[in-house]
Structure 1
Amino acid sequence: MKRNKLLLSICLLGILAVSTTDTLSAQSRTPAAKVVLANDIVRFEFEAERMGVAAMVDLAEKVNHIQTIDGKHTLWELTFCQGNQKRSLSSTQVPCGSYDMKELSDGLKRATFEWPNVDLDKEKRVVSVRVTVDLPRNSGIAEWRIWVDNDSNIWGLYEVDFPKCSGYLKSGEYDIAVPRRNFGKLFKKCNKRMSYKYPHGGSMPMQFMCAMKRTASQSGGTNAVYMAAHDPRAWDKSFTIEPGKEFYIRTNVENMAVPGSDHRDPFPVMMGVYRGSWMQGAKTYRKFAVTAPWTSEGKVSQRMSMPKALKDIGLWMLVGNYIGPEKGTLEEKNKPLIDAQKYFEVPTAAHWYNWHAIPFDTHYPHYFPTKPGISEQVRDLVSKGLVIMPYINGRIIDVSNDDFDEYLPYCAKNRMGKHYVETYGNKVMQAPMCCYTEFWQDKVTKIVERLAKEVGVNAVYIDQIAAASPVLCFDKSHGHPLGGGCWWVDGYRKMLKKVQKIAHSNGRNMIITTECAAEPFMDGIDAFLIWIKPDERSIPMITAVYSGYSIYFGSPAWFQHGDRAWIMAQGRAFLWGSQNGWMGLELFKPEHARKAAYLKKIGKYRVAAKKFLTFGELVELIEPTNNVKTITETWPDHGNHPRTATLPSIQGAIWKAEDGTLGIFIANYLEKNNTIEFEIDPARYGLNAASFGYTVTGVQPEGNHIEEEARQGVLNRSEELGPWEIRILEIRAAWPKYTVTSDYTARKVEGWKVLVNTELLSE
């Protein structure tokens, strides 16, 4: 019966499509030969009979990103489940029943492939699959969609791998950019298999990746491939790529393993070719991202729910316990942080751990009572203008708690009905809660309310929300689809809506933050902590997409490997738009005096350039035209394993403010003079100088000063920076020079040529 209804719906939709669109050409047939979908930019080829993706050709350079393989290319693969048994069904196993090719009046070409009434195990004619691929006239990136109708009485759909492409790319010939570890990483000449979960701040906070291949053509361009899910509901999914072998996006479906469960095209996958770097790929994703629900409040400048205190922060500190001596007076306890604020001379925030009586990562969520006197400390610090942000966890509870049975019904459960167990550094067993339940939403909201009322904080950090991947929960009593889907994100967004209501009630204006940077929580989270230490492969994908829409803070680095290693990490994070800091008070030890001085400088420059770094957009990284030497320093990874990092000795970035002006940000990592030369065409970023050229202004904490006037067109810059210098240049369209007659116009009056005030003429 369900299949008949679906077929009727498809027929009605088909009739509607024919009646409401101008179909230039259409054909429906059994695909005995290969099918080609192409425009002037790209050509996709689908193999005869089974329609595997056999070619994806960039027509400008004749580069095919799909290689020939032994056997058949794939297009999709489904996994079904019954109890502990699993069955796979692939497009390589089943001939395509029919395909249809249409060209619509807007130039879009649509290919539709159908696999109707496919057998599954011993059941006959119970699975039907439909795929559409839409290729716009002027883009090399196509939109891919899949529908799976399952009429099985035994097997439940579990996972959908789509699109699944074999022979994908070539091993060792592509640089692959993945928004991994918060900022993002660029894996050069990639030859390894990578699989990352979304939404997961440490693994994959955004749902796209890019692969770039440099060509030897005269154009010197880059052939690139864009792979993304433009999914506004943020379904639970993963991206897997192994150059030379395969690429696929795996979606955990709703009602996993439930007999007869379907998959009805919840989001489009965007895959195809473009010309450019990972930055151009990020800007393509940004166009989708600014239409997603999590950016619906608008830019940072428009987000009235985001406290001004957050937008003004210059630097962050990291504190714990009593900050100062446990047995000290109130003044003695708070003195180290107040002294830091005075030293930095910028608005300062502090992330406070271990303010509670319980040990860290133990007996959660029972954070109260606080350590004695903490409330008095907090109120004193807040009264002095600091942002004070205590730690809580929004995801896990201690299974050894005496009241665990009260929480057990609301824990996330596996398919056997058992709660999950996780352990962290102290090996305490923790159970992740189901965020879709009102019970857990209200528990976290109540903790935030108590911190506001009883402790007096003006910010709260809720750990793990944007850091940990969704847990597959199969508890029917929770009211969400079983297993996969978008309910995990929906649950946390409902929780954060409640938290934000508390944060802005009774005259409060609290900041709410979380760990890492997964995108779909952005409308409930004011700022994201970038706490995973970066490495030399890191690239600023997250700020390339979300600068101007969200705020990221933190620039963690190890102290013990010398000043230059530390300054490299701070300078690069500053260029990329993070609110620097999240440092312990050891920063103020005598041996770290130069580090503290550099961080102070960064804080002052951030405040001076807030129009760019807080409210603007990161539009490009500067590519030097001169030979910039590299430097290598010790940068241990996040686990403090020995690693080195090799970076250019001077780096830069280009930001665009909301008023259209451009900001050139440069940081010199050498303790001597260093020069960077580069070209910039302001018109490329929308800055039109008309016939008056540009004004270049130096931006400094003590005040701006005009550097020079520049002609319209490409600007060739050579900037020599002093030791460890930071330099910011603002480029704006120049105004015509004012003279005493600027407001007047020549006009003949009774034969005499006189100057008449322009304003009077307009009246």
Structure 2
Amino acid sequence: MTERTLTDGAGNTACLDGDGGLAGWRVNGVEWRPARPAPAWSVLFARDGEEVQAGPATRGQVVASGRDRVELLFEGLRCGEDLLPGRVTVTWQLREGLLQGRIGVAGLPQGVILHAAVLPDLLIPYADAPATSLVVPWDTGWVIEEAARALPEGDAKTPGLRFSHPPLQCQAWIEAGRGLYLDTRDTEGWMREWRFQEGGAGRVRIRCLHLAPRRLVPAGAFAPPYPVSLGGFHGGWYEVARLYRPWALQAPWARRGPAERRSSFVADIACWVWNRGRAADVAPPVKELARRLGAPVALDWYWWHKHGYDTEYPDYFPPREGEETFRAAVRDLQAHNVRVQVYTNGMCYDVDGKAWAPDGPECALMQEDGSWLAPAYNTFTQHHLAHTCGDSERWRAIVLGLVRQARALGLDGLYLDMIAAVGGRTPCFNPRHRHAPGGGCYSVQGFRETLRQARAQAPGFTLSSESTLEWYLDLFESHIICGISMERLKWQAEMYGGRGRVVPLFMAVYHGRTVCFGNYSFLDGIPPFDELWPAEYRTDPGKEKDWAALCPDQFALELARTVTFGCQPLVSNLRAGHFADPRLAGDLAFLIELSKVYHREREFLLWGEMLAPGDLECPPHETVFLQRFVFTAPGEETYLRREYPAVLHSAWRAPDGRMAVLLVNYTRGAVPVAYRPAEGLRVVPGGDRAGLPAGTVLEPEGGGVRGRLAPRCALMLPLTA
């Protein structure tokens, strides 16, 4: 073939060389060129548990073309020194302001096991490693700073910067504000993995592996039924979200917006409490918080079940205090303006539990080597929890049974852990299941069918989960977001050499299409301990330190981040004694004030569209973080120091078109601040929505404001075009 240039008539172009290699593209005024022209695809075979790569054996031949589109056929595959039969078809098209590609593999010989079709497979040069960053849709979204320096490092959980089936399908490689945008546009939930790896000096290798079913239909053929997108932009994480958002909001899981979600109890919540244990410990502080707020509170109740946490799943009933005692506690909470949901795990079966046989092997996700994917999350009991496959009909029946039993207790909702975090992302090889082993969309579709049936059998009964996999947004009413407290969770803080920071990428795409709540915060720094765990792992209360004094701003920062991300506030392990503890008075007052602000401004902060944040100038503030969570053994607590802006902010547009910016000073001192909205917007002079907090002074400056924010305060300033 000859060199070819595609154009869409809107200034976007793509160039292919005479071999069918992708030489570069220019989209949105930003040009990207691989280190050298290359086919931009490969295939991976599975051989003896290893990945074996193959590429084209011949030049690509044009089989169809137009002004903005070309379809190429590559005959034969080269795998090291071997030549294999097979055909690969690659299509490139300029569409919707992006360069979109599709790949299809056919004609593979018998005995060859296709692991993945890979598109794109690119070597992208960079000049300034410290200026590189990677925007990834992990949890709410992360930015990995100095990403080029993280490429050869990786970490134990994510070697080589790999991202399997993340909550969103968009990511970006950025150097000095110039961005390479990447996404897939899959509406069915196919399994895949993005890899960012060192590709030689000054180069990053970017690949997307589309995992193939091991039984190909037709034989020897696989074509992922969705495109991959390449683009360009100037900016950061927010611009990535805006490129993805138009397509995402048309996806089937985004059909339920604010108008369709207001009838759920989560629509009116001012604050969540994540409490665990018996009613006498759990209920009184939640009722007291609701009384002080004068607004509805939601309780996410863990450790109500008869066995210890992370053991004997899925055997939960009856409640450990007995059904009548538990029912009475739920009724009392509801009478005090508290809505109640309880914990279950939506996709784990205890391999070491009494209930494992006979149903566990029917439900569990089997790995390629025949073992169960069964981590021991609970480091105290060391029970291994096998992940379940969404395609298992037996698991579906178990989950539907849990929903029926929970609803019968008079609860407002049920929490199904993990489904919206990892449900459907891992290939299953269990021969007991109907699906083909390996890749596919069977597990996502299976979990979706389970949730559809659960909603149908229990209308009005609210379902909730962990994290925000977009495949399930229409089927859950709410999602807990633990990663907002990433510094507290030591393994998260240490990922990628400690270069990661959490950003509201998900909210910039989907805010208002579901309800997100929470963090992993503790007022006193002391996590709970299940009475049914081995006693030797319980910290002696007499040896607890004054964690709130040692880490005086951690709780406030986590809470401020929660609200500026547009999530409903949450406090964990709230105890009745906290209200009388003078050491916690400041944090408790901030929790109540910020919850009131969120509830009052929920047309913006719950249902609104996240706008470009604008520019905020303020001093940095060093926060000391206690790294301790529920499975931290006594004496293993550690500290982390990080600097963040002393004031956090976000901008919003309510469904009725009103706009406002939220400013939150989480520190214990007054902070000088200057805010300038994004281009085309300005602050309404003197228009603060609820009056300025005492000690706060703001004066107009250009289209923004300058002044000083009082300690531990939050305010909403109206914006206008």
TM-score class, shorter: 0.7 to 0.9
SS of aligned partner of 1:245: strand
Equivalent residue for 1:195, pick from 161, 177, 180: 161
1:427-457 alpha-carbon deviations (Å, 9 max, x no partner): 112222222122211211111111111x211
SS of aligned partner of 1:591: helix
Moved more, 541-550 or 642-651: 642-651
Equivalent residue for 1:250, pick from 193, 209, 229: 209
Cα distance between partner residues in 2 of 1:48 and 1:637: 55
Cα distance between partner residues in 1 of 2:705 and 2:598: 23
Cα distance between partner residues in 1 of 2:195 and 2:51: 20
* 1:461 matched to 2:415: yes
Note closer, same or farther for the CA distance 1:257–1:191 as it changes in structure 2 (3 Å cut): farther
Q: TM-score, normalised by structure 1?
A: 0.78
Q: Which amino acid in 2 is paired with 1:212?
A: I
Cα distance between partner residues in 2 of 1:557 and 1:118: 53
Equivalent residue for 2:620, pick from 608, 630, 638: 630
Cα distance between partner residues in 1 of 2:368 and 2:377: 24
Shift of residue 154, structure 1, vs aligned partner: 1.7
SS of aligned partner of 2:416: strand
Cα distance between partner residues in 2 of 1:97 and 1:357: 63
Other-structure match for 1:320: 276
Other-structure match for 1:406: 358
1:74-114 alpha-carbon deviations (Å, 9 max, x no partner): 511112236657642113xx22241367444xxxx112221
Q: Which amino acid in 1 is paired with 2:280?
A: G
SS of aligned partner of 2:516: strand
Shift of residue 460, structure 1, vs aligned partner: 0.9
1:197-217 alpha-carbon deviations (Å, 9 max, x no partner): 343xxxx31111122333xxx
Other-structure match for 2:528: none
Other-structure match for 2:299: 350
SS of aligned partner of 2:109: coil
| Larger relative contact order (Cα-Cα within 8 Å, sequence gap ≥ 6) | 2
Note closer, same or farther for the CA distance 1:488–1:195 as it changes in structure 2 (3 Å cut): farther
Equivalent residue for 1:648, pick from 641, 645, 649: 645
SS of aligned partner of 2:687: strand
Return the index of the structure with the highest Cα Rg: 1
Moved more, 599-608 or 233-242: 233-242
Residues 161 and 195, structure 2, Cα contact 8 Å, conserved in 1: yes
Cα distance between partner residues in 2 of 1:58 and 1:405: 56
Residues 699 and 728, structure 1, Cα contact 8 Å, conserved in 2: yes
SS of aligned partner of 2:286: helix
Cα distance between partner residues in 2 of 1:261 and 1:432: 30
Cα distance between partner residues in 2 of 1:324 and 1:379: 14
Equivalent residue for 1:53, pick from 22, 30, 34: 22
Other-structure match for 2:172: 210
Residues 155 and 258, structure 1, Cα contact 8 Å, conserved in 2: no
Shift of residue 412, structure 1, vs aligned partner: 2.3
Other-structure match for 2:448: 493
Q: Which amino acid in 1 is paired with 2:521?
A: A
Other-structure match for 2:600: 608
* 1:584 matched to 2:573: yes
Cα distance between partner residues in 2 of 1:481 and 1:501: 28
Residues 101 and 112, structure 1, Cα contact 8 Å, conserved in 2: yes
Other-structure match for 2:690: 700
Other-structure match for 1:231: 186
Cα distance between partner residues in 2 of 1:562 and 1:553: 23
Other-structure match for 2:44: 79
* 1:546 matched to 2:510: yes
Other-structure match for 1:512: 463
Q: Which amino acid in 2 is paired with 1:409?
A: E
Residues 307 and 510, structure 1, Cα contact 8 Å, conserved in 2: no
Shift of residue 144, structure 1, vs aligned partner: 1.0
Other-structure match for 1:724: 712
Equivalent residue for 1:144, pick from 98, 101, 106: 101
Cα distance between partner residues in 2 of 1:563 and 1:129: 59
SS of aligned partner of 1:155: coil
Cα distance between partner residues in 1 of 2:137 and 2:450: 26
Q: Which amino acid in 2 is paired with 1:173?
A: A
Shift of residue 675, structure 1, vs aligned partner: 3.2
SS of aligned partner of 1:524: coil
Q: TM-score, normalised by structure 2?
A: 0.83
Residues 54 and 80, structure 2, Cα contact 8 Å, conserved in 1: no
* 1:309 matched to 2:265: yes
- Report matched runs for 1:556-571 at 5 Å: 556-557=520-521, 559=525, 560=547, 561-571=550-560
1:641-677 alpha-carbon deviations (Å, 9 max, x no partner): 4322211122321101111110111012343333322
Cα distance between partner residues in 2 of 1:546 and 1:173: 29
* 1:482 matched to 2:433: no
Residues 148 and 204, structure 2, Cα contact 8 Å, conserved in 1: no
Other-structure match for 1:675: 672
Cα distance between partner residues in 1 of 2:220 and 2:458: 40
Cα distance between partner residues in 1 of 2:474 and 2:45: 35
SS of aligned partner of 2:455: helix
Note closer, same or farther for the CA distance 1:516–1:336 as it changes in structure 2 (3 Å cut): same
Q: Which amino acid in 2 is paired with 1:279?
A: Y
Cα distance between partner residues in 2 of 1:60 and 1:727: 38
Residues 514 and 525, structure 1, Cα contact 8 Å, conserved in 2: yes
Q: Which amino acid in 1 is paired with 2:41?
A: W
Note closer, same or farther for the CA distance 1:466–1:491 as it changes in structure 2 (3 Å cut): same
Other-structure match for 1:66: 34
* 1:424 matched to 2:393: no
Other-structure match for 2:288: 339
Equivalent residue for 1:441, pick from 396, 405, 409: 396
Note closer, same or farther for the CA distance 1:359–1:73 as it changes in structure 2 (3 Å cut): same
Note closer, same or farther for the CA distance 1:165–1:638 as it changes in structure 2 (3 Å cut): farther
- Report matched runs for 1:261-340 at 5 Å: 261-296=220-255, 298-303=256-261, 307-324=263-280, 334-340=283-289
Cα distance between partner residues in 2 of 1:127 and 1:281: 36
Shift of residue 682, structure 1, vs aligned partner: 7.6
Equivalent residue for 1:388, pick from 320, 340, 350: 340
Shift of residue 142, structure 1, vs aligned partner: 0.6
Other-structure match for 2:561: 572
1:516-536 alpha-carbon deviations (Å, 9 max, x no partner): 221111111111110132347
1:272-315 alpha-carbon deviations (Å, 9 max, x no partner): 2123332111011111111112112x312223xx6431011111
Q: Which amino acid in 2 is paired with 1:486?
A: C
Show structure 2 runs of 5+ residues with no match.
152-159, 488-499, 526-546, 630-636
Residues 80 and 156, structure 1, Cα contact 8 Å, conserved in 2: yes
Shift of residue 240, structure 1, vs aligned partner: 1.1
Cα distance between partner residues in 2 of 1:103 and 1:258: 30
- Report matched runs for 1:152-163 at 5 Å: 152-163=109-120
Residues 226 and 273, structure 1, Cα contact 8 Å, conserved in 2: yes
Show structure 1 runs of 5+ residues with no match.
1-29, 215-221, 326-332, 688-692, 734-763
Shift of residue 473, structure 1, vs aligned partner: 1.6
Q: Which amino acid in 2 is paired with 1:157?
A: L
Cα distance between partner residues in 1 of 2:706 and 2:78: 68
1:233-286 alpha-carbon deviations (Å, 9 max, x no partner): 121111111362300111111236899342223111111212333211101111
Moved more, 146-155 or 188-197: 188-197
* 1:531 matched to 2:482: yes
Shift of residue 695, structure 1, vs aligned partner: 7.6
